[in-house]
């Protein structure tokens, strides 16, 4: 082996080391939400008499000529049914303007270097299954057409950007794409939207990829992760957790609370501030829903989360992660006997 080849090998090893170090310091990966919505209906603005809008129980078929024409408006509406396979509630709303963009347009279509059909503004408002609020995500962009580079794996169509969010998703930035819309229905805006669930609609799957402003993390103290037994003694190798035991973990980054407090204000002691996001603890990847999730009185961003170690947790070192509103924090390790 020549000296040049050996030197090249050393350079490659050094380069790999630099790349690995850079990767470790890189920005955290985005969060991906797979949202399923049901009773999806697109109401097409094909009504010339405003007094007839939304008056007919229906279902009312859309005027085919209107749907095929350029520049018509539309309004989509659907119910959020699940997020990452977890039951949820909420609403999907979108308002669109038809724009038949094509490099080779036919008469009445719009000429352009891309192939897209509609310009959309969209909103997702997410609720827990009990109807309590989690937060919203708002987007803007174009459909359908191929998804842009950097879209999540599985995205089939759409080119939308997240312009912001509220609640658990305040300040979110990212992308929105569709996996598909199955049995989605086009209706005339003469149809009464209060009858949407009765008249029926389709099922839409959407991929929302975003970078959150805050992520849930276990507080790390001088003795390691702040995870305690019920008697407030620290979980350590000499005092490990037990399968089936309820533990206390102190965390940061769980987001908004009820009652609401301003950023930087201290959590109150009466009433306790309860984190509004759905919170769970993953133990070796298995979910354990939070028993409670409250702001620690007198602190600005420290929460107490109680959870139960799953009964089938194996003896040894277990990996623990906090999840708030489907946003995962970094892993920590705890001993289990």
**Spans of all domains in the chain:** 31-211, 217-336
Q: What pLDDT does 181 receive?
A: 87
Q: Which CATH superfamily is domain 217-336 in?
A: Immunoglobulins (2.60.40.10)
pTM of the model: 0.88
Tell me the CB-side half-sphere exposure of residue 18, using CA atoms within 13 A. 6
Which pairing describes strands 316-324 and 332-336: parallel, antiparallel, or unpaired?
Answer: antiparallel
The residue written with tokens 């705890």 in the block is: 334
pLDDT for position 5: 43
- Short-list 207, 273, 328, CA closest to 320: 328
Determine if the peptide bond prior to 223 is cis (ω within 30°): no
* Predicted local confidence at residue 297, as pLDDT: 97
Q: Which residue has the tokens 């204000």?
A: 265
How many whole angstroms separate alpha carbon 224 and alpha carbon 213?
Answer: 25
Residue 19: predicted pLDDT: 47
Within 8 A by CB and 6+ apart from 221, the residues are none
- pLDDT at position 235: 97
Question: What pLDDT shows up at residue 2?
Answer: 52
298 alpha-carbon distance from chain centroid: 30
The pLDDT value given to residue 64? 74
CA distance 229 to 240: 9
Cα(first)–Cα(last) distance of the chain, in Å? 53
Rounded to whole angstroms, the Cα distance separating 271 from 264 reads 18
Q: How far is CA 18 from CA 10, 13, 23, 151, 206, in A?
A: 12, 9, 9, 27, 37
**pLDDT for 15:** 52
Q: Which residues of 273-299 are buried (b: 16+ CB within 10 A; e: fewer)?
A: bbbbbbbbbbbbeeebebeebbbbeee
Return per-residue pLDDT of the chain as tens, 337 residues: 454 443 344 445 555 554 444 444 446 889 999 999 999 999 999 888 999 999 999 899 988 777 677 888 999 999 999 999 999 999 999 999 998 999 999 999 999 999 999 999 999 999 999 999 999 999 999 988 899 999 999 999 999 999 999 999 999 999 999 998 899 999 999 999 999 999 999 999 999 999 999 999 999 999 899 999 999 999 999 999 999 999 999 999 999 999 999 988 999 999 999 999 999 999 999 999 999 999 999 999 999 999 999 999 999 999 999 999 999 999 999 999 9
Task: Judge whether 162 and 31 are in contact, CB under 8 Å.
Answer: no
How far, rounded to the nearest angstrom, does the alpha carbon of residue 251 sit from its chain's CA centroid? 20
Give me the half-sphere count of Cα atoms (radius 13 Å) on the Cβ side of residue 275. 29
């Amino acid at each position: 082996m020549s000296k040049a080849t050996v030197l090249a090998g050393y350079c490659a090893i050094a380069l790999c080391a630099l790349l690995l170090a850079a990767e470790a310091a890189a920005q955290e990966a985005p969060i991906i939400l797979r949202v399923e919505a049901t009773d999806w209906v697109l109401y097409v603005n094909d009504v010339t008499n405003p007094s007839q809008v939304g008056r007919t129980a229906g279902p009312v078929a859309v005027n085919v000529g209107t749907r095929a024409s350029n520049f018509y408006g539309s309004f989509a509406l659907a119910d959020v049914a699940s997020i990452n396979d977890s039951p949820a509630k909420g609403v999907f709303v979108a308002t669109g303007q038809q724009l038949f963009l094509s490099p080779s347009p036919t008469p009445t279509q719009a000429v352009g270097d891309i192939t897209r059909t509609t310009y959309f503004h969209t909103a997702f408002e997410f609720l827990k299954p009990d109807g309590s609020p989690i937060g919203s995500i708002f987007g803007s962009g174009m459909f359908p057409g191929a998804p842009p580079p950097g879209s999540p794996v599985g995205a089939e169509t759409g080119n939308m950007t997240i312009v912001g969010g509220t609640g658990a998703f305040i300040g979110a930035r990212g992308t929105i794409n569709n996996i598909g819309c199955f049995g989605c229905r086009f209706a005339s805006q003469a149809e009464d939207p209060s009858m949407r669930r009765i008249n029926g609609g389709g099922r839409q799957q959407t991929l929302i990829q975003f970078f959150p402003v805050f992520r849930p993390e276990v507080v790390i103290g001088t003795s390691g992760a702040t995870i305690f037994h019920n008697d407030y003694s620290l979980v350590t190798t000499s005092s490990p957790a037990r399968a089936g035991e309820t533990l206390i973990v102190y965390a940061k980054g769980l987001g908004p609370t009820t009652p609401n407090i301003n950023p930087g204000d201290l959590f109150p002691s009466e009433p306790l501030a309860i984190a509004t996001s759905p919170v769970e603890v993953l133990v070796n990847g298995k979910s354990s829903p939070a028993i409670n999730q409250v702001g620690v009185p007198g602190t600005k961003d420290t929460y107490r989360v109680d959870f139960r170690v799953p009964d089938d947790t194996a003896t040894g070192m277990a990996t623990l992660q906090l999840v708030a509103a489907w946003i995962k924090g970094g892993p920590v390790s705890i001993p289990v006997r």
